[in-house]
Amino acid sequence: MTASIPSTPTRFVGFDSGGEVFLSQGRVLRGIYPGEGVLYRKVLRICETHDLFQLGIVKTRELQANPHPSLPYDIVLEHEKIPFITYPHEWPASMLKVAALFHIDLYARLGPYGLTVKDWHPYNILFKGTEPVFVDFTSIIPVYDLRNEEYLTPPCIPRLFRNVWDTTSAYFYEMYRRMFVPYFLFPLYMINNGNHSRARRRMLETAMNTADSVIRQDEVFNAGSRGWKHYKAKDLLKKLALSQRSITKRWFLRLLRAEVKRLSVFRQSSNYSDYYSAKNEGFGFEPSSEWTEKQHTTYQAIKRLGPRTLLDMGSNTGWFSIMAARLGCQVVAFDIDEACADILYQRARQYDLDILPLVMDMTKLTRDIPPLDFENEPSRSLIGGQAPLLLSAEKRLKCDMVLALAIVHHLALGHGIGFDEIVNKLGAFVTKYLLIEFVAKEDKLIEADPDFFPAYNADPRGFGWYTLDRFTRELRRRFRDVDIRKSHPESRVILICTR
């Protein structure tokens, strides 16, 4: 009998000096580099003995044998696979705040066990539904090993505190100022100041290890302003708190947590956050006579086809996302409107629904972004090869079923995007089924507000191609079956497409 040959691992690009993460036959593995096995076996034993995984650390175990013996790792770990990879610039503001508080709490809870985290940024966090998970296991190290981290050495100690801080204080502050401040705190302050879209743009532009700059203080505060003075006062208090002679630095963490907690980032309303109530469609989630044809058709399709994962594009405040989650789907929902995504996150978190809300623009999806080349930090990867550091939305968010309700006419009549491109864009996320709504040009909402569809309004005669027949033909080029069902009102239909 011939032994099976392990598949080639697919590497996730990273810069950790302890090990590297890769996919192997659908499993998430981490190879620990030569010379690092003793350290991370020790950390794993502490986590297992005290069940520290309940703190939100990704569930991890050591494999008995290396499935890729040609790669001479000291040990190989297996992590729980989180369904979807997302990035901070895609999270609604409330999720970013939850992630920041989670990270602070993780520092506080690891301290009594002599452990800490050597990186303090949001790129080590993924969301499993609404709950944050810390996924960079090799960032967890003994507190006293911080002094061995080259990127933190030597720490920059403010002159006033050189005689009162201990070594741990110096390294805590170095991590805080270099990572937590530009990647967590400054974006949250920008959002608190009402600059949601700018914060989101700058988070993408300064994504860790893809850019050679970070968000600066002068982007957040005007020098001498009231907000700037308050921030400076809080920073001084935190520096004083670091004088505490304790490896846990409880005072510092309590002050930081209170500061983040007070930031107001939740957007409660927008022009679209009352969408369902404005249309008198804010019904319950069990089938009823009040439901429209659109709701009945979508419900019946999800229940009949039974997708495990579902992507709701243009989800608004998530009526269909909630319905799908109640039917047992793992749901990803995205919308261009931040308030809508934030409202959905609050609801999903309140009712413990498996929904991952994101702020995304269908016309400006995250693309593959390569890492910076750090000549002074050569990669220790045993797998090697070039790969993006940030992956495109299409690679990360594929689902069994995609709902695209009330989105085609916005892309076509609003942006002038042709059916072939629309179907390609949507189809890139579909593994099995696409439920897509077509809205005729004669729809009352289109006729009543043509300014809302600028491409069509500028040249109505140029949209003779925008017909249900042509759209159906385009779908049938890429899906083996297209079933047309009723929607609501009569100027709309839903097409159920099967790969």
Q: What is the pLDDT of residues 272-301, one digit of tens each?
A: 555 555 444 467 888 899 999 999 999 999
Query: What strand order describes the sheet that includes 492-498?
Result: 355-359, 330-335, 309-313, 399-404, 430-439, 492-498, 481-486
Residue 446, in any domain of the structure: yes
Please check whether residues 257 and 315 belong to one and the same domain.
no
The pLDDT > 90 percentage for the chain reads 80
**Residue 451 — pLDDT band, cuts 50, 70, 90?**
confident
Are 289 and 189 in a shared domain?
A: no
Q: Identify the DSSP state of 435.
A: E
In a domain, 470, yes or no: yes
Tell me, yes or no, whether 269 lies in a domain.
Answer: no
Q: Give yes or no: residues 217 and 153 share one domain.
A: yes
Q: Are 328 and 195 contained in the same domain?
A: no
Give the pLDDT band (50/70/90) at residue 8. confident
Query: Does residue 129 form part of some domain?
Result: yes
Is the pLDDT reported for residue 3 higher than 60?
Answer: no
Are both 162 and 251 inside the same structural domain? yes
- Compute the distance between CA of residue 141 and CA of residue 41 in angstroms, rounded to an integer: 11
**Please, is 109 exposed, middle or buried when counting C-beta atoms within 10 Å of its C-beta (0-12, 13-18, 19+)?**
middle
The identity of residue 224, as a single letter, is G
pLDDT at 278: 46
Considering the entire predicted model, what is its pTM?
0.92
My answer on whether 293 and 230 are in the same domain is no
Q: Are residues 430 and 493 in the same domain?
A: yes
Domains: count for the chain: 3
pLDDT of residue 347: 95
**246 pLDDT band (50/70/90 cuts)?**
confident
pLDDT score, position 1? 40
What's the CA gap between 355 and 108, in Å, rounded? 28
Please compute the mean of the pLDDT values over residues 58-76 and round it to a whole number.
96
pLDDT at 374: 66
- SS3 at position 312: strand
- Please check the confidence at residue 5 and state whether its pLDDT lies above 80: no
Q: What CATH number has the domain bearing residue 337?
A: 3.40.50.150
Residue 446 in this model has a pLDDT that exceeds 90 = no
Provide the 3-class DSSP secondary structure of residue 58. Answer: coil
Asked whether residue 3 is assigned to any structural domain, the reply reads: no
Task: Name 40's Cβ contacts closer than 8 Å, sequence gap at least 6.
Answer: 18, 19, 32, 75, 77, 137, 138
- Strands 19-24, 140-142: pairing is unpaired
Domain coverage including residue 342: 275-498
Whether residue 178 is predicted with pLDDT greater than 90 in this model: the reply is yes
Whether residue 267 is contained in a domain is answered as no
The helices-and-strands tally (H runs, E runs) of the chain is 19, 16
Q: Which of 79, 109, 130 is the last residue of a domain?
A: 79
**Structural domain includes residue 5:** no
253 and 331 assigned to the same domain? no
Q: Which of 79, 103, 119 is the last residue before a domain boundary?
A: 79
> Tokens 């810069």 belong to which residue?
15
d(Cα 421, Cα 99) in Å, to the nearest integer? 35
Mean pLDDT confidence for 193-208: 95
pLDDT of amino acid 6: 58
Phi, psi of 476 (to 5 degrees): -70, -15
CA distances from 387 to 27, 78, 131, 316, 383 (A): 18, 21, 28, 33, 11
194 and 157 share one domain: yes
Question: Is there a single domain that holds both residue 376 and residue 438?
Answer: yes
Question: Residues 68-72: what's their mean pLDDT?
Answer: 94
C-alpha 135, offset from chain centre: 13
Q: What is the pLDDT of residue 2?
A: 42
Rounded-to-integer distance, Cα 161 and Cα 333, Å: 47
Helix ranges (DSSP H) in 331-478? 338-350, 393-396, 408-409, 415, 419-427, 444-448, 454-458, 468-476
pLDDT digits (tens, 9 = 90+) for 352-405: 999 999 999 999 999 999 988 765 456 788 998 878 899 999 999 999 999 999
- Same domain for 255 and 145: yes
User: What is residue 387's predicted lDDT score, i.e. its pLDDT?
Assistant: 83
What confidence tier does 16 reach under pLDDT thresholds 50, 70, 90?
A: confident
Q: What is the mean pLDDT of the chain?
A: 92
396 and 358 co-located in one domain: yes
Would you say residue 271 has pLDDT above 80? no
d(CA 355, CA 92): 13
**Number of Cβ atoms within 10 Å of the Cβ of 203:** 23
* Residue that is written with structure tokens 């989670």 in the block: 102
Domain end marker among 236, 262, 288: 262
| Residue 474 located in a structural domain | yes
**In what helix (H) or strand (E) does residue 219 lie, and over which residues does it extend?**
helix 217-220
Provide the pLDDT for residue 270: 58
Of 495, 488, 445, 492, whose CA–CA distance to 290 is shortest? 488
pLDDT in tens, 309-350: 999 999 999 999 999 999 999 999 999 999 999 999 999 999
Q: What integer pLDDT is reported at residue 377 of this predicted model? A: 53
Beta carbons of 88 and 187 less than 8 angstroms apart: yes
Q: In 61-137, where does DSSP find H-type helix?
A: 93-110
